[in-house]
Amino acid sequence: MADRYDPPKLPEESILELEDYLAMQRAVSEETRYRIVAELLRKGEMSAKELADSLDIPSNRLHYHLDKLVDVGVVGNRLETERGADGLYSYYVATSLGEAVMKHGIGELIRTEWDARERYA
């Protein structure tokens, strides 16, 4: 009989609730948001314009998805404190929680498929 999965329990004094972790997973399960977090992990901190250009996403659509990712803590937002020639800039970066969700969530599923393909090829 196969071993049953025993999901990890949250620490008694966890700063996050289970719902917070599930919200992070749901946030990156949408394709555009997945692409945004993946790009931030690849390239590091980026402005919204850099992200929009890099991913070929219209600015209004990008901001909608960035807001969702920031709300759940997968992406961080840093506002430049000094005004530049074009005004204030916001910079986005994947948080450590965002990196963990990508690497140990979706990333792990994709790696599992590659392992299975190699094993049965």
pLDDT tens-digit profile, the chain (121 residues): 567 888 878 888 888 888 888 899 899 999 999 999 999 999 999 999 999 999 999 999 999 999 999 999 999 999 876 766 556 678 999 999 999 888 888 777 777 778 888 888 7
pLDDT of residue 90: 86
> Is residue 102 within 8 Å of 118, Cβ to Cβ?
no
Residue 95: CB atoms within 10 Å: 18
3-class secondary-structure state, position 74: coil
pLDDT of residue 86: 59
What's the residue count for the chain? 121
pLDDT of residue 87: 64
CA angle in degrees (0–180, nearest 5) for 50-75-78: 65
Find out whether 120 and 79 touch, Cβ atoms under 8 Å: no
Beta bridge partners of 33: none
pLDDT at 118: 84
Report the largest interatomic distance among the alpha carbons of the chain, rounded to a whole angstrom.
66
Buried b (16+ CB within 10 A) or exposed e, 2-27: eeeeeeeeeeeeeeeeeeebebbeeb
Q: Which two tokens stand for residue 72?
A: 């759940």
Contact 75, 69 (CB under 8 A): yes
